[in-house]
Structure 1
Amino acid sequence: MKSSRVGQIGIPAAIISIVVMMVVPLPTMLLDLLLAVNITGAVLILLVSLYVTKPLDFAVFPSLLLIMTMFRLALNVSATRLVLLNGFAGKVIESFGHFVVGGSIVVGLVIFVILIVIQFVVITNGAGRVAEVAARFTLDAMPGKQMAIDADLNSGLIDEDEARRRRQEVSQEADFYGAMDGASKFVKGDAIAAIVITVVNLLGGFIVGVVQRHQSMGEAISTYSLLSVGDGLVSQIPALLISISTGLIVTRATTERDMGSDLLHQFGQQRRALQVAGSAILFLALIPGLPKLPFMLVGGSVLLIAQRLPKQSTGEPTPAETEAAAAAAAGPSPDSPEAIANDMRVEPLELELAYDLIDLVDSTVGGDLLDRVKALRRKLALELGIVIPLVRTRDNLDLPPRTYAIKLHGVEVARGEAPAGMILAIGDDLASLPGTVTKEPVFGLDAKWVPAELRRHPGLTSATVVDRSSVVTTHLAEVVRTHAHQLLGREDVKALVDMVKATHPVVVEELTPTPLTLGEVQRALQALLAERICIRDLVRIFEALSARGRVSTDPDGLAEAARAALGPAISAAHAVDGKLPVITLDPLLEQNLLESLRSGENGGFLMLDPMYAERLVLEAARLAEAAEQRGEAPVLVCAAPLRLPVRRLLEAAAPRLPVLAYPELGGSLTLTTVGVVEVAHAPTA
């Protein structure tokens, strides 16, 4: 039978059998067998406790402790039944009653009481206290361990699988010590039950022998007392072994070796201690009245062992090693070049939280901000085509309460609020709800922070409700989209080029280092990201760049060549269900703009009268805002030579209005005109 079948069927059946044993009488032969199984199981548990390298390797121990306790008590009940009914409970109990204690009831009672004192007073109480303290300290240390794991994950020291494994191990450790705190009470109760059962057996046996079997008082005491003590001893010895196992498990520190190996290794490093101990034992042999042979043998043996230990295992570091260890423990000096360089380092992307927002990153209280940020990095990678840097999340005591800040290369670019115990309701009809009026941080929509307990309030049925973590991650995502071109560094471009080279080596060979350098490729990709163009299709982008690079390395020309290659994908990204809402330029206006187009050092620009340009910008922004209020996300289309100058003209007033050239419109899209930009007066050059 497979082990899984044994675990699923055999173990539950054995537990049910333990309960049955308390009710159904057992034959003496079966009782002898089960008593042997009990002793064997206790020895096995003790050996496993010695050989495990960490407590979690024996995580089933708390449940096993309960099962073994019930099994031992069931054997006590069965043995008591046989002793009182038949005056005989099998060879095992009879042997413990006669051979182990020499047939003396006094000796048996004394040994039994001593075992009870050792188990109950010394081992059980100590193990229970250690389990209680370990459970308390493990639970108190959980938040710090979780935050340390999250910090290692965010810094890139470990991957998500390793972080998940460590979190699970921390949780299992807390559960284990919590279970051991309760399971130690089983051992204490078992010791008390053993005393009670033995006393009941003594009194019950005496009454049965004298009243029912008409034995003399001496004969009844001799017969039933020895059997009762034998029953107590045969049960108490496995109980003592289980108690020792409990103490070993809860006091076991996590190491890479089992207890025996650790013991020999750690004693083997104390050469001087062994030498002093051996000398002290030999000195005792010189005291008059003490036997000399035992102390000389033991002291000489300890000295011999100490002499055979290698000197490098003494654990005494040299002065140079002591100085090096102290320097390593102290870490780099605050004035050292390493420390100064570390303080000078500027992180590409940082998320700072006020002191009262730490609960957002504390998973022990339900904080999931770090998990959402990790998921956001993957989402943005698929959306933008670049892997954004790790988001360094840290607390900042200088921030006002309820506030978070987003920094880009050390410069704060956005700030928002996420008050504790609140949710953000976005909508128009929120006046009847209690809370703080605010603006949604990404789109500037009317919103209000309301208490979280009002999440299901009828007044929120027509509003969009967002939790605090979603507010922060949405804001962070928008910041990354807006500033993605600033996050694309030279090393990132090199990684992208190497990625394409692995699958399309010819494309990269034609691109760099000639006709384009890595820096020119970076500027072209940054120009695409600045207009929120996904650069995942690097093969087509590189092909377009290499073709354009043979003619000119102008950054604007390179970016426009890449846009031409990606045209259908760009327009499809703005379409919904195959429909693209567009804002067009009045034909006369477009003609005038073409005539005003000039070339400069930084690319093409429009030479327009300022008042005329202002009216153009305001009209385009008005049409875009009106379309957004209708739930549409329009694009402005114009002639290809005008696309970049018009985009630069509208960038400040309508940053979310994409500007596309006519060749970039996909042939499979249905265009819906939502507005035409018209300006009354002609421009003046």
Structure 2
Amino acid sequence: MNSFIFPAWLNGKGGKALAGPIMIIMMLAMMILPLPGFALDIFFSFNIALAIIILLTSFYTVKPLDFMVFPTVLLVSTMLRLSLNVASTRVVLTEGHTGPDAAGKVIEAFGHFLIGGNYAVGIVVFIIITIINFSVVTKGAGRIAEVGARFALDAMPGKQMAIDADLNAGLIAEEEARRRRTEVAQEAEFYGAMDGASKYVKGDAVAGILVTVINVVGGLIVGMVQHDLGFAEASKIYTLLAIGDGLVAQIPSLIISTAAGIVVSRVASEEDIGNQFINQLFTKPEVMYITAAIIGGLGVIPGMPHVAFILLAGSLAGAGYMLKKRSQTAPSQEGVAAASAVPPAPEMEEATWQDILPVDTLGLEVGYRLIPLVDKNQGGELLRRIKGIRKKFAQDIGFLSPPVHIRDNLELKPSSYRIALKGVEIGSGDANMGQYLAIDPGMVSGTLPGIPTTDPAFGLPAVWIDASMREQAQSMGYTVVDAGTVIATHLNHLITSNATELLGRHEVQQLLDHVGKESPKLVEDLTPRLLSLSVIQKVLQNLLVEGVHIRDMRTIVETLTEFATQTQDANELTAQVRVALGRAIVQQIFPNGNELAVMTLDNKLERLLMQTLQGHGADGASMEPGLADTLALQTEVAAQHQQQLGLTPVLLVPGPLRALLARFLRRTLPQVKVLSHAELPENKTIRVTSLVGGQI
């Protein structure tokens, strides 16, 4: 159709972009420039064809967003009809005295063929069509669009939350979530635009009536005053032209209004309107039989058109019989085919790279009794908790963890769950739906009847109890949580403990991109100019492995930029970053007070460790076995002394020894934090409570 209306060069990509402006210019030109009758015939024919195309397109759309441009099409088609009304009115009033074909053959045909040349009949038909269009079709479509826009806007927050829950649960990817969010926003915009566009159709109907009345009155005046026609002759000529003009505009308007009603009134389905009509209206044999009986009963009443009613009743009964026969034979044929046919051996396809499935970074598998916790259709309580876990992790640690991919696993026990990191199990446990886990924090006043177990997150003694004993357990000092909280707490503990492995190249790049939004020059100076992404990742992982958050990425990037010209070693860069983050590290360990109660090394042990460091490097494995055992034992004794005093076990050492001792104690005494003198803020007071190595 484009090639018919526009030149061939408009069919390309650039031409399609120019089609809209050219059409608007043409409509404005029709209002200003006089058009011959042949040109009016072309444009009126195109208007009718456009209306039919719009109607058929609305029939074959599966969902409203498949015809997203419809509100704009509605406006453009309305302006096209109004432009044609202006152009045809000019021709009718200036050339109408020459005959009924003055405004083209199309208007003449509608004036003679459709209404038989009787202007009284034409007026009645025109008024009826206008009333149907204005009061029934357009008004109903506008009301549906208005309600649809209201409900779409009200439902938008819930739909967005559902998309976020699916994304956080790992049920969909980021691209799919982005597509769904865009679709939700477009749906709300579509119904809002349809609500406004329906007003154009109403105005078009009113304008059609006014234009027709003006054409009749103006034609009578022009014909009798300027062309000396009699009243009867002028009435016949100009009324037929005006009614023909009105009908040729109102019939496409009625078609497009019907299309608007079809688009906004359809319910979401995977079928188009035609299939829905057939599959939902004419597929029940009982309905056909009852309708045939009613119509046949009307046909035997005296005075009724017997032939028409009885013929229709027979057709309906025959259709019902065919439908019932088809519904009975189809299942039996399927059963015989399934029983008798030997399925051919499936042909094995060649292995492809698509057969290699990516391993989920974080995975949660649940037994079938725990499915309600992760099913959004049944409440999905755990989905909301996981969303909160990822948000809190990002706020506390400093980067967004990968989504948790959740699936059911029939191989697990019904009430069991399994947490995996990169396909490897890192935690598992049981969660009994309908019961509560009463955890003993160490200060309970009695025992409870139930199923004894261990808290999966922290290894504390616990017992599964019935819901009726919840208040009693709380009064006895137990910490009582439900099944969803048990899994969520365990998952949160494991995610935090394994933050180092969760920080991959992709997450590091996202962190740098996030910093680059506010300080683009800062990131550009660091990578890839000074440091590679892998070195930055190693520095961040070194911080995380010792429990140091990386929220202050600006300070980290500035420090790396400053010292990257001096060294490319990740461990040395980590030491400099720790010094820069010293205030935050100390605040994390000692949240209150200016006095820091710490453990220190005996001078003799410190000299031995410095000699080891100078002779063998910073590798903790190079430490002599006897020295290593003694160091571990005495550090454990000092740490227990600190904990008995209610203090955090912190070992303060010289800067060169910090990495060596931190790496050595991480496996045997992970609760001991190792700080260097350079990391302590100047306004803090140091109090030594224990000495490590005094017996060496």
Structure 1 equivalent of residue 604 of structure 2: 588
- Structure 2 residue matching 1:376: 3-state secondary structure: coil
Distance apart, 1:125 and its partner CA = 0.6
Cα distance in 2 for residues equivalent to 1:310 and 1:247: 34
Cα distance in 2 for residues equivalent to 1:234 and 1:264: 32
Distance apart, 1:251 and its partner CA = 0.6
Equivalent residues in 2 for 1:398-437, closer than 5 Å: none
Distance apart, 1:277 and its partner CA = 0.8
Cα distance in 2 for residues equivalent to 1:309 and 1:374: 65
Number of residue pairs the alignment of both structures matches: 473
Q: Deviations for 1:344-402, whole angstroms, at most 9, x for unmatched residues?
A: 99979955869xxxxx99xxxxxx9999999711599xxxx969999xxxxxxxxxxxx
Could you tell me whether the CA contact under 8 Å between 2:152 and 2:187 is conserved in 1?
Answer: yes
**For residues 389 and 26 of structure 1, do their structure 2 counterparts lie closer, same or farther at Cα, with a shift above 3 Å needed?**
farther
Structure 2 equivalent of residue 252 of structure 1: 266
Distance apart, 1:195 and its partner CA = 0.5
Q: Which of 29, 44, 68 does residue 35 from structure 1 map onto?
A: 44
- Say whether 1:80 aligns with 2:94: no
- Structure 2 residue matching 1:149: 3-state secondary structure: helix
- Say whether 1:605 aligns with 2:633: yes
- Structure 2 residue matching 1:141: 3-state secondary structure: helix
Cα distance in 1 for residues equivalent to 2:158 and 2:581: 52
- Say whether 1:93 aligns with 2:107: yes
- Structure 1 residue matching 2:401: 3-state secondary structure: helix
Distance apart, 1:104 and its partner CA = 0.6
Distance apart, 1:607 and its partner CA = 7.3
Cα distance in 2 for residues equivalent to 1:371 and 1:185: 49
Structure 2 equivalent of residue 20 of structure 1: 29
Q: Deviations for 1:83-102, whole angstroms, at most 9, x for unmatched residues?
A: 10111211111111122111
**For residues 276 and 589 of structure 1, do their structure 2 counterparts lie closer, same or farther at Cα, with a shift above 3 Å needed?**
same
Letter in 2 for 1:42: A
- Say whether 1:295 aligns with 2:306: no
Distance apart, 1:43 and its partner CA = 0.8
Structure 1 equivalent of residue 153 of structure 2: 139
Cα distance in 2 for residues equivalent to 1:487 and 1:346: 27
Equivalent residues in 2 for 1:570-581, closer than 5 Å: 571-572=571-572, 574-576=574-576
Letter in 2 for 1:61: F
Equivalent residues in 2 for 1:321-340, closer than 5 Å: 338-339=368-369
Distance apart, 1:205 and its partner CA = 0.6
Give RMSD over aligned pairs. 5.2
Q: Which of 178, 195, 206 does residue 209 from structure 2 map onto?
A: 195
Distance apart, 1:139 and its partner CA = 0.9
- Say whether 1:57 aligns with 2:66: yes
Letter in 2 for 1:637: R
**For residues 159 and 373 of structure 1, do their structure 2 counterparts lie closer, same or farther at Cα, with a shift above 3 Å needed?**
farther
Distance apart, 1:146 and its partner CA = 1.1
Structure 2 equivalent of residue 442 of structure 1: none
Structure 1 equivalent of residue 471 of structure 2: none
Equivalent residues in 2 for 1:337-376, closer than 5 Å: 338-339=368-369, 350=385, 376=400
**For residues 73 and 608 of structure 1, do their structure 2 counterparts lie closer, same or farther at Cα, with a shift above 3 Å needed?**
closer
- Structure 1 residue matching 2:267: 3-state secondary structure: coil
Could you tell me whether the CA contact under 8 Å between 1:76 and 1:235 is conserved in 2?
Answer: yes
Cα distance in 1 for residues equivalent to 2:211 and 2:70: 25
Structure 1 equivalent of residue 164 of structure 2: 150
Could you tell me whether the CA contact under 8 Å between 2:373 and 2:382 is conserved in 1?
Answer: no
**For residues 244 and 619 of structure 1, do their structure 2 counterparts lie closer, same or farther at Cα, with a shift above 3 Å needed?**
closer
Cα distance in 2 for residues equivalent to 1:181 and 1:286: 49
Distance apart, 1:5 and its partner CA = 2.5
Could you tell me whether the CA contact under 8 Å between 1:581 and 1:635 is conserved in 2?
Answer: no
Q: Which runs of 5+ in 2 are unaligned?
A: 1-8, 97-101, 332-366, 375-379, 405-420, 427-454, 461-489, 503-540, 550-567, 583-598, 610-623, 679-685
Q: Which runs of 5+ in 1 are unaligned?
A: 318-336, 355-359, 362-367, 391-407, 414-475, 489-525, 535-567, 628-633, 660-674
Q: Deviations for 1:252-295, whole angstroms, at most 9, x for unmatched residues?
A: 22222221112111124322111111111111111111010000
**For residues 635 and 119 of structure 1, do their structure 2 counterparts lie closer, same or farther at Cα, with a shift above 3 Å needed?**
farther
Equivalent residues in 2 for 1:225-236, closer than 5 Å: 225-236=239-250
**For residues 410 and 125 of structure 1, do their structure 2 counterparts lie closer, same or farther at Cα, with a shift above 3 Å needed?**
farther
Letter in 1 for 2:634: L
Cα distance in 2 for residues equivalent to 1:124 and 1:373: 57
Equivalent residues in 2 for 1:512-591, closer than 5 Å: 531=546, 571-572=571-572, 574-576=574-576, 588-590=604-606
Distance apart, 1:569 and its partner CA = 6.7
Could you tell me whether the CA contact under 8 Å between 1:598 and 1:606 is conserved in 2?
Answer: no
Letter in 1 for 2:664: L
Output the TM-score relative to the length of structure 1. Answer: 0.58
**For residues 193 and 374 of structure 1, do their structure 2 counterparts lie closer, same or farther at Cα, with a shift above 3 Å needed?**
farther
Could you tell me whether the CA contact under 8 Å between 2:642 and 2:649 is conserved in 1?
Answer: no
Cα distance in 2 for residues equivalent to 1:125 and 1:349: 42
- Say whether 1:70 aligns with 2:79: yes
Distance apart, 1:239 and its partner CA = 0.7
Cα distance in 2 for residues equivalent to 1:611 and 1:532: 18
Cα distance in 1 for residues equivalent to 2:393 and 2:547: 25
Could you tell me whether the CA contact under 8 Å between 2:393 and 2:399 is conserved in 1?
Answer: no
Distance apart, 1:72 and its partner CA = 0.4
Q: Which of 395, 401, 409 does residue 377 from structure 1 map onto?
A: 401
Could you tell me whether the CA contact under 8 Å between 2:373 and 2:383 is conserved in 1?
Answer: no
Could you tell me whether the CA contact under 8 Å between 2:650 and 2:674 is conserved in 1?
Answer: no
**For residues 619 and 163 of structure 1, do their structure 2 counterparts lie closer, same or farther at Cα, with a shift above 3 Å needed?**
closer
Cα distance in 2 for residues equivalent to 1:263 and 1:373: 56
Cα distance in 2 for residues equivalent to 1:371 and 1:255: 41
Structure 2 equivalent of residue 278 of structure 1: 292
Cα distance in 2 for residues equivalent to 1:235 and 1:109: 14
**For residues 678 and 610 of structure 1, do their structure 2 counterparts lie closer, same or farther at Cα, with a shift above 3 Å needed?**
closer
Could you tell me whether the CA contact under 8 Å between 1:51 and 1:258 is conserved in 2?
Answer: yes
Cα distance in 2 for residues equivalent to 1:651 and 1:200: 92
**For residues 370 and 573 of structure 1, do their structure 2 counterparts lie closer, same or farther at Cα, with a shift above 3 Å needed?**
closer
Structure 2 equivalent of residue 662 of structure 1: none
Could you tell me whether the CA contact under 8 Å between 1:596 and 1:606 is conserved in 2?
Answer: no
- Say whether 1:637 aligns with 2:658: yes
Distance apart, 1:683 and its partner CA = 2.0
Distance apart, 1:24 and its partner CA = 0.8
Cα distance in 2 for residues equivalent to 1:579 and 1:279: 92
Structure 2 equivalent of residue 48 of structure 1: 57
